[in-house]
Amino acid sequence: MKDQAESLRLRLQRRHGLKPKTKAIAVVSGKGGVGKSNFSLNFSISLSKRGLNVLLFDMDIGMGNLDILMGRSSERTIVDYLTGTSRITDIIMEGPEGVKFIGGGTGLGQLVNQDRLGTLSDDLDTFLEEYDYLIFDMGAGISQESLKFLLSVHEIIVITTPEPTALMDAYAIIKYLHLADAKLPFQLVANRTNSVQEGSATLNRLTKVVKRFLDMEPVWLGVLPDDRSVQQAVNRQIPFMTFNPKSKASLALEELVSRYIEGVGQIPANQSVSFVSRLKKFLFER
C-alpha cells in the first residue's frame, strides 16, 4: 500500500540522517462538541501505527481533556511548563500506540507570558526533529497566543458536523484564519455523519461558501460516521481505534489517514520553513 511505502520511506530517511522537517498540523473546530479532540487523538494513533513518530499537543491550556479520552493521568502538563515548574522534556508523556503527548492541564488562571512562549519555541527546536508529525489539538476560540501557533503550522484540519451551527462556526474560523494568512492550507473533515452521502453534502456546502466568499478551495480529507462504539470508547476512556479497531469509525479513519499520507501528508515545497522558525517570527515580530 502507498501509505505503508510512505511510512517506510520516512523511517529510512530518519535512519540515514535525511529526515524531512516535522510537519505541524493544527486541528480546529468552530464550536465545541463536534469530536475535535477525539479526532486528534485517534488520527495520531493511526499515524503512529504506521511507524510514524507523533507528538500530540493539547492546546486547550488549563482545560485539557486528551488525557481523559485516553484514560491517562498526566503527572505534568503544559501548565507546569508555562508556570516554570517543569522542563519541556518533563511534560512529554507516553500515550497509546506509541503516541507521545503533552497534556493541557487544568487551572491556568493567567495569560501566557510572551517570554515563556519564546522559551517554548526554543525548547521545541531542541527535539522536534525526533518527530514526523506535531499535532496541536486547539482549544475553543482564538486568542492572541493561539493565533500565533495557528499561523505557524503547515496546515489546518477543520472538524465539522452536518449541524448548521457547526458549519457556520467552521466557516467563521476558516475565514478568520484565511484573512490572517491567505496561503494557509485547510483540510475538511465531516464527523458524526449518518452516511457518506450526508458527509459529502456537508463538505460540499461548506466548500461552496468558502469558495464563494473567500475565493479559496479547501481539501476534503474525509467523512467519519456517527458510530455508537465511539461513545462507548469515550465512556471507557479508551481511544476508539483501540477500543474497536473494526468499528465503522475506526475503519473510516484508517481510510482517511491512508488518503492523507498518499496525498497531503508531506510539507509542500512552498512551505518548507520549519514550524519553530515560523513561530519565532510571529512571536517576536513588532
pTM tops 0.75: yes
Residue ranges and CATH numbers for the domains of the chain are 2-7+19-263 (3.40.50.300)
d(CA 31, CA 35): 10
pLDDT in tens, 142-169: 887 789 889 999 999 999 999 999 999 9
In Å, how far are 47, 113, 158, 219 from 7, measured between CA atoms?
9, 38, 24, 22
Q: What does the pLDDT profile of the chain (286 residues) look like in tens digits?
A: 545 555 555 555 444 444 457 899 999 998 888 999 999 999 999 999 999 999 999 998 878 889 999 998 888 998 888 888 899 999 999 999 999 999 988 765 554 556 677 788 889 888 888 999 999 999 877 887 789 889 999 999 999 999 999 999 999 999 999 999 999 999 999 999 999 999 999 999 999 999 999 999 999 999 999 999 999 999 999 999 999 999 999 999 999 999 999 876 555 544 567 888 888 887 776 4
